[in-house]
């Protein structure tokens, strides 16, 4: 299995509070992604990173920000959490070289509940 | 932009029966196609992938999928289902070409297996 960890694995917070989720990889992969998973919606891309300090928005980026100061860490921040951000968040990584192009490996997920 | 449709939200099969999960994609060029499986409470695991070449691809756990360009389909099959195959299955498409690293997922098909 690809070396991807997410922390925390579970979090309950209140509306309006800031929340940061961390994704850590030991594979030295260039690309990292944050998805959210909601029933009936599959996985939707929030933000992704194509290198240190290089990030871009995905399909559902409103209300989220990201940072990547090191190759191995990709942080997802909810500046002011809302109940609509209650979801399961997955981090993924990929190594965009050769045959592994676009093959993404997923972390175990973080279940976030916003009350 | 690419899209993926998984027409079946939930499928129930008996253990030992054959399985086919449907996936239709929309993309103007040759896509990169993937099937992922998610067991309850777990992250996503890659089952198989199609990049080019032979249109019948073999994956892990005895699964296979066939790319049919004329039908824009990439259906997942297994000749004999085991109880441990009960999970949710996601089809995904990625745009091919340099710099294309975004996966678009279908909404998933939940598989239940009757002993």
pLDDT at A96 over 70: no
Is B39 within 8 Å of chain A by CB?
Answer: no
B32-B107-B73-A90 Cα dihedral, nearest 10 degrees: 20
Which stretches of chain B drop beneath a pLDDT of 50? 98
pLDDT at A23 over 60: yes
A interface mutation test: which of B2, B6, B33, B43 has the most A CBs within 10 A?
B43
- Summarised one tens digit per residue, pLDDT across range A3-20 is 999 999 999 999 999 999
Nearest beta carbon to residue B102 from set A40, A45, A99: A45
CA–CA separation, B92 vs B35, rounded Å? 6
Q: Strands A10-13, A110-114: parallel, antiparallel or unpaired by DSSP?
A: parallel
Question: A residues 4-33 near B, CB within 8 Å?
Answer: 31
Region class of A106: left (phi > 0), else alpha (psi between -120 and 50), else beta: beta
Q: What pLDDT does residue A104 have?
A: 87
Q: How far apart are the first and last CA of chain B?
A: 41
Q: Where are the beta strands (DSSP E) in A17-95?
A: 19-25, 31-38, 42-51, 54-57, 64-70, 73-78, 87-94
Return the residue of B nearest to A111 by Cα.
B41
Phi, psi of A3 (to 5 degrees): -80, 85
pLDDT at A29 over 70: yes
CA–CA separation, A36 vs A45, rounded Å? 7
SS3 at position B99: coil
- Summarised one tens digit per residue, pLDDT across range B94-109 is 865 545 567 889 999 9
Q: Strands B3-5, A19-25: parallel, antiparallel or unpaired by DSSP?
A: unpaired
Which run of H or of E encompasses A60? none
Nearest beta carbon to residue B94 from set A43, A99, A102: A102
Whether residue B104 contacts residue B94, with contact meaning beta carbons closer than 8 Å, is answered with: yes
Residue B33 is encoded by which pair of tokens?
Answer: 């196609």
């Amino acid at each position: 299995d690809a070396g991807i960890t997410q922390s925390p694995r579970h979090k309950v917070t209140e509306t309006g509070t800031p929340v940061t989720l961390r994704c850590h990889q030991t594979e030295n992969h260039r690309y990292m992604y944050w998805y959210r998973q909601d029933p009936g919606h599959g996985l939707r891309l929030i933000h992704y990173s194509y290198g240190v300090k290089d990030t871009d928005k995905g399909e559902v980026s409103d209300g989220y920000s990201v940072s990547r100061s090191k190759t191995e860490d990709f942080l997802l921040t909810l500046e002011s959490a809302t109940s609509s951000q209650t979801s399961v968040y997955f981090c993924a990584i990929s190594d965009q070289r050769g045959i592994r192009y676009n093959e993404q490996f997923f972390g175990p997920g973080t279940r976030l509940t916003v009350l | 932009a690419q899209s993926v449709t998984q027409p079946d939200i939930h499928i129930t099969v008996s253990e030992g029966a054959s399985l086919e999960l449907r996936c239709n994609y929309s993309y103007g060029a040759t896509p990169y196609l993937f099937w992922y499986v998610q067991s309850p409470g777990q992250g996503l695991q890659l089952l198989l992938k199609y990049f080019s070449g032979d249109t019948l691809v073999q994956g892990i756990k005895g699964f296979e999928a066939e790319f049919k360009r004329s039908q824009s389909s990439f259906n997942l099959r297994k000749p004999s289902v085991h109880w441990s195959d009960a999970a949710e299955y996601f089809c995904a498409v990625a745009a091919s070409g340099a710099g294309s690293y975004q996966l678009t997922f279908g909404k998933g098909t939940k598989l239940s297996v009757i002993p």
